[in-house]
Amino acid sequence: MIIDRYIARSIIQGTLGALFVFTALFIFIDFVRQLEHIGTKDFGLVEAVLFVLLGLPKKLYELAPSIILLGGLISMGAMAGRSELVVMRSSGITMARIIRSVLQTGLFLAMLVGLAGEFIVPQATSMSKNLRAVAMDDHVLVGGTHGLWARDGNRYFNVKTVLPDMQLRNLTIYQLDINRKLTRSSHVQSASFRRDHWRLKNVSHSVISETGVKTYRNAVEEWPSLIKADLFEVLALEPQDMSAISLMQYSDYLEENELDSAVYQLAFWVKVFTPLACLVMLLIAMPLVFTASPRSGGTGQRVIIGLLLGILFFVFNRAINHLGVVYGVMPILSASIPLIFVTFITIFLIHRIR
C-alpha cells in the first residue's frame, strides 16, 4: 500500500540521518584518541583509520535502539509538523493502521540489526584488534580472515579463534631450527591457560627429519609456555563482541567444565533481545509524536528528546544487566527486564493517544 511505502521511506531516511550523525561523531572521537598512538612502531595513519572504521560497527550496534528511536522521532515528527499524520487520520486511516506500517518498517530494521550483530560486528571487531596488535607488537605477524599469526623465538603460531579467559581453538604450531628450516608441525584442537602452564587437547605432531616425517598424537599435553598471555588483553573478543552462536557454544563448554557461564549467557540473551529493543524503541516514538502539536517544537527539540531517551535506555539497560550478574539473576531475566519495562510504557502511552 502507498501509505506503507511512504512511512517506511520516511523512517528509513530518518534512521539513515541519525546513523550518519552517530557515525561521524564516533569516527571523530575515536580518531582523536588514536592520534597519540600514530608513529608507535608500525601503527601509522592508515592503520589508525582502518582501526577506527573496523571498530565502528560495534559502537553503532550497541546504540542501534537509540539510533532507530532518534530516526523515528525525526521522520515521524517531520510528518506531524507538516500535518501529514492529521490528514491521514482525517481521511479514515486509523491509528492502528499507522502503527502497523511503523511496525513493518521496524521489523525490517530489527532484522538488519540482528544480522549485523551476528556476522558483521564479531568479524570487524576481531579484525580491528588483530590490526592493532600486528602494528604495535613485534610478536604478532599477521591478522585477518586466516586467523592470528604470532611468533615466539623459532616457533610460529596460527590461531583461528581467540576466546576470552585465555582460550584458543584450532591452533597450528610450526617449529623451525637455527637454519630456519621446518622441523615440527603440530595441530592443537584447543588450548587453555591454567595458572602457570598451558593445557593442550587433541594434539597431533608431525616431526620432519632427513629420514622422513613421523606422526604421533596425544590426547592431552601440558606446555610451560605458548603465546604471550598479555596478548589476550588485546586480541580476545569480549562476550558482547561475539556472535550469538559462539556465545551459546562457549556457554555450553563452560557448563560442561562446571565453570561460571553467566556473563556469556547474559551476552547471548542481550544479542537475542537487541533487535526487539530496536522495534520497541521505534514504537515509543509514536505517542511522543502524536501527542505533540505541530507547533510544539521543531527538529532540534525532537533530536534532543531522542538523544535523552536513547541515553536513558542505554544506561538503564546496562545497569540492569550488570546488576543481574552481581546478584545472580537469571541471564534471560536481566536481559529482558529493560525491554519488558519499556514495552509496557510504550503500550500504555499508545493507548492514551486520542
Rounded to whole angstroms, how far apart are CA atoms 230 and 248?
Answer: 26
Q: Do 206 and 330 fall into the same domain?
A: no
User: What pLDDT was estimated at residue 193?
Assistant: 87
Convert the pLDDT of each residue in 69-121 to its tens digit. Answer: 999 999 988 888 888 888 888 888 888 899 999 999 999 999 999 999 999 99
Q: Do 221 and 91 fall into the same domain?
A: no
Q: Do 10 and 115 fall into the same domain?
A: yes
Residue 269 near residue 336, CB atoms below 8 Å: yes
- What is the value of pTM for the model shown? 0.84
Q: Do 176 and 148 fall into the same domain?
A: yes
Q: Do 31 and 113 fall into the same domain?
A: yes
Domain with 148, as residue range(s), is 140-227
User: What pLDDT was estimated at residue 255?
Assistant: 86
Mean pLDDT across the chain: 88
Q: Do 32 and 15 fall into the same domain?
A: yes
- CA 57, 58, 62: angle at the middle one, nearest 5? 115
pLDDT along the chain (354 residues), means of 10: 91 96 96 92 92 96 95 89 86 90 96 96 88 71 62 85 81 92 94 88 94 94 81 71 89 81 94 96 88 61 84 94 92 95 92 78
Q: Do 112 and 249 fall into the same domain?
A: yes
User: What pLDDT was estimated at residue 140?
Assistant: 58
Angle between helices 262-283 and 299-326 (to 10 degrees): 160
In a domain, 188, yes or no: yes
User: What pLDDT was estimated at residue 115?
Assistant: 97
In a domain, 7, yes or no: yes
Find the length of the chain.
Answer: 354
Q: Do 169 and 217 fall into the same domain?
A: yes
In a domain, 13, yes or no: yes
Q: Do 339 and 278 fall into the same domain?
A: yes
